[in-house]
Chain A
Amino acid sequence: MAKMRQNATPYRRGPYTSKGKQERVKGRRMAGQTVREIAKAEGLSKNTVSRICSQEEIDQLMSGYRSVIVEEMVPLALKSLRWHLKKKDRQATIETLYGSKALSQYHEIEVTSSGERDYASAKVDFFGKYGRWPTDEEAKEFDKTIPRKALVKQLPAEIG
């Protein structure tokens, strides 16, 4: 057996396994089954399973699935969502608002920020006071009048 393997030519052709069986093998692989398990379940050799499961083939399959999702399923999903929103479905309404970021859960709000300021808080406070949106310069000037709080550390109460 060892000698046969030594003399065997490298794999150059595609598998003879039927398309249907190939799809099942890939499906099992994506579901997390091992090569050995798939080979036993489908009655194939481990080498055959490995060849079928080569990354390039899976990528092509995934790309095919993606185009089905985008071209066929998304338009159907949008139609369905529109129907549910017209029916004033509460869940659909809230999920749409979350998805569009018009609503945020408290824990989603970033408590640490980085980068330059956009003076959003000053603009909103200005609007609240004067009833109109400020220019960028007005927002920066108005920002100087807003009292800010220092971020100080506190020992936890149990440490005291």
Chain B
Amino acid sequence: MIAPSQYAADERRADEEYTLQLIRRGTKDEKGYWIPGVLWWLWNCTFTFDNHWMAKGLKGPHRTFPRLPYLACFFSRLLADMKEKSESVPQKTSVVFVPKSREMMASWSVVGYCTWLCQLVPSTRVLIQAQKADKAAELVRGTEPPGYARTLYEQQDDWLKERFPLAVPITDLPSDKLVWRNESAIQAVPKGADQVRQFHPTIMVFDEAAHLEQFEASSGAAFGVAKQLICVSSAAPGWFADVCSEG
């Protein structure tokens, strides 16, 4: 005999498995275009944090990830590029430069991509470098307000947090680190090529790369070691601008 509670538990489990499939593989939208799994997860399974919610007259700081038209293309590029490079030449590094302006959600998107990957793929190591240590930490765990990766993790439903548990309670983690039980981790480091040389990241992220001292040296240190380099920045003259101009 199957009790009603057993039926409900199995039905719930089936819905969770279906949802996980969507998170991993994505789905088609109503026009038949592919929504990558990371974007589906960002839109449907977690929230972001808006520091300026009061000034904007919102009722709370948490918001759904915006439905911006370029995000599907952006994530598809990140995923396809990494897959192509890692398959063709195992040691080759995929490099993505992302010139951006404010309110484009570029940093949120990149941190979302890294968080999603860390949860799904064990032993994924992400290194995020910014000019200052506290700015880099803002993208990871942070303090108050909570960091980007921490917000995306904590705003998931409990069942997802149980599926992708952290290695230790989040309050026990330092502000520059987020570590999962599957040995994936996101680590924040300040400027300097030496900071990068200490690690062997799977993904290397440079935030505001055009304004980052020793950006060229840092990216050189990560190139050939990391599977993917993602360089996000607002406009400023320098090597970042040169590379973007070369197109």
Contact = CB atoms under 8 A, between A and B. Distances in A.
A62 interface: no
Contacts of A111: 8, 12
Given A112-B162, A114-B162, A155 B7 contact: no
B25 interface: no
A150 B159 contact: no
Q: What secondary structure prevails in chain A residues at the interface with B?
A: loop
A117 interface: yes
A113 B12 contact: yes
A119 interface: yes
Contact of A150 (B15, B62, B155): B15
B65 to A, nearest CB: 11
B59 A109 contact: no
A99 to B, nearest CB: 13
Interface in A81-137: 101-102, 104, 108-114, 117-124
A120 B3 CA distance: 9
Contacts of B59: 158-160
Given A112-B158, A153-B45, A153-B46, A118 B6 contact: yes
A153 B155 contact: yes
Interface string B140-170: 0000000000000001111100100000000
Interface stretch (B16-24, B68-76, B204-212): B16-24
B18 to A, nearest CB: 4
- Of the four ranges (under 10, 10 to 19, 20 to 34, 35 or more), the interface on chain B belongs to 35 or more
B174 interface: no
Interface stretch (A17-25, A72-80, A141-149): A141-149
B62 A159 contact: yes
A111 B11 CA distance: 10
B19 A121 contact: no
Nearest to B158: A112
A156 B162 CA distance: 22
A36 B63 CA distance: 59
A152 B13 contact: no
B3 A104 contact: yes
B14 interface: yes
Contact of B14 (A101, A112, A117, A158): A117
A150 B45 CA distance: 10
A151 interface: yes
Nearest to B157: A153
Nearest to A102: B3
Nearest to A159: B60
Interface centre among A108, A118, A148, A155 (most CB of B within 10 A): A148
